[in-house]
A and B are shown apart, each in its own frame.
Chain A
């Protein structure tokens, strides 16, 4: 099993769509905006100075609305889109500089991709779809299919090996897409709005499937989404993209607690904070309470509140990773943080009116 050990390092990556994109990188570096570039040179700014470290073995979510460049960004990692300038380092090699042959080899061994519209091969059965990546890299049909069967079973599609994609529901088709990507056993898993086309219930279900798998696989996953709840649920790290530029990155908690600008504030306004914020951020460090309830620092506010109400007690002790005492939290503080930040009115009084 290929457990990921290498970060992906993206440095000063630019993508300008148009016949002569390279000529305008300097303009953009000098501060020309997307609109100006469009108006003056009729080129479209896809990515604007992206520098991002995608940590090995973690889920990096890239979030943004449509047109923000998130799908463009993920396609640079396996170079389905050629960058205009910049570098993408993985295992000390620059993906941007790879020859076509090296690139194909990189795609076969190191990456696998899951697509928004599934992009399954309609003329191939589930088994043939799933084993495709291994067949391409030259493995015998027998071995490729044997490995594929394991993953088909793992994503819960036993008995559908000989079905055609058309015979399956959307959720099942995307399980095939996931199995196809996992069968490749690559370190990097690229997921381009993989669950966006699914019904809400199936979507949550698939998120759980992914999180379960990730628990044991520890792949480097780049997950694109436009949905904040999905981003917060899946992302170890989140980068928010707007007009081809990263406007904030950090953990979900950091983004919810300290949105970098109004744009992000308006995003995170309706987030269920109890699902995102951990007790670590709001506890009283070092203090100790006289209570039977003990929680780990990673407990979410909602979990903490439930534990305290269930025990009918209003304070809880908090322990660190090693089980040692680190602080305490009160039920009141917990609930207060869940409903609204203390300074909500102060931040944006206009928002209430509008």
Chain B
């Protein structure tokens, strides 16, 4: 008996299987592609709106608005100063427009990830069954090489912004789901019991106790989601998403070292701004934990 070669399917069978699945999927794409594209159209509208708003407005206003937002989140002059300097440098080195596109992209992806992620996280915290069911899906979303799910997404939507958003959201949504789940599960049982003893209904428990106490953890998840969206920007540029990823891709293809480094650093700068701002916000949410009784 031959124990060296693995008894695999015959090449012919394997080819037939692949062709079968591919054909079925192609038929599905042809039949429903249009409808799906229609469904996701609002995302494109929103993305283009934000992009145009950021690009067409006077840069000084955009700079002021972003700094204002960072201040509102962090209440830290240091972080705001860093933001202003980083954005001025980005603009000076001619990356303003690409940066605005990337910020628009990350903003939309984060928004979608939060809108999907928090309810799913709540569902997982509610029932162990949902938890058992969804956890392996999240594992798969995080470990599956992103190129693999780019293929069906591109087959359905073609190249462009919407498939980019979908790919980024698939990659970036797991942390916000996981940390929402974790945050709610970590709410102390005695506090929850107290809420129950005073006659709270499930909605009141969620709104008054579970979500507020889980919020710092949820914010950590949102922070991770933002970071992962930014990391996906370069990969998404392969399917036609414009922004800072495209020059990087160009630099890889043509071995333009400086171009790559400059755009890479711009991504890093945005990442640091977003990270510091959201983390500072998360910390501020925990102000009730600060002043410990002596």
Residues of A in contact with B (beta carbons under 8 Å apart): 78, 80, 104-109, 111-113, 115, 117, 119-124, 132-133, 135-137, 164-169, 180, 184, 190
Contact = CB atoms under 8 A, between A and B. Distances in A.
A105 B292 contact: no
A119 B190 contact: yes
**Interface class of chain B by DSSP:** helix
A119 B193 contact: yes
Contact of B291 (A113, A133, A166): A166
Contact of A132 (B188, B193, B198, B288): B198
A95 to B, nearest CB: 13
A168 B293 contact: yes
B201 interface: yes
B191 A119 contact: yes
Given A107-B199, A108-B198, A136-B199, A117 B292 contact: no
B194 A123 contact: no
A122 B293 CA distance: 13
A107 B198 contact: yes
Contact of B292 (A78, A120, A166): A166
A164 B291 contact: yes
A120 B190 CA distance: 9
B282 to A, nearest CB: 13
B289 interface: yes
A162 to B, nearest CB: 11
Given A123-B288, A164-B288, A164-B291, A111 B191 contact: no
B292 A123 contact: no
A133 B191 contact: no
Contacts of A108: 198-199
A107 B291 contact: no
A24 to B, nearest CB: 25
B293 A115 contact: no
23 contacts: A78-B197, A80-B193, A80-B196, A104-B199, A107-B198, A113-B198, A115-B194, A117-B190, A121-B191, A121-B209, A122-B191, A122-B213, A122-B288, A123-B288, A124-B288, A132-B195, A136-B195, A136-B198, A136-B204, A166-B290, A166-B292, A167-B291, A168-B293
**Interface class of chain A by DSSP:** mixed
Contact of A123 (B196, B198, B200, B213): B213
Interface of B: 188, 190-191, 193-201, 204, 208-209, 212-213, 287-293
Nearest to A106: B199
A280 to B, nearest CB: 38
B199 A105 contact: yes
Contact of B293 (A105, A167, A190): A167
Contacts of B292: 166-167
B198 A184 contact: yes
B289 A166 contact: yes
A115 B289 CA distance: 20
A180 B291 CA distance: 22
Contacts of A166: 288-293
A78 B199 CA distance: 9
Contacts of A136: 195, 198-200, 204, 208
B115 to A, nearest CB: 24
Nearest to B205: A136
Contact of B193 (A109, A115, A120, A122): A115
A184 B197 CA distance: 11
A181 B21 CA distance: 64
Nearest to B288: A164
B190 A115 contact: yes
Contacts of B200: 104, 136
Contacts of A122: 191, 213, 288-289
Contacts of B193: 80, 115, 119
Contacts of B191: 119-122
Contacts of B188: 119
Nearest to A190: B197
Nearest to A108: B199
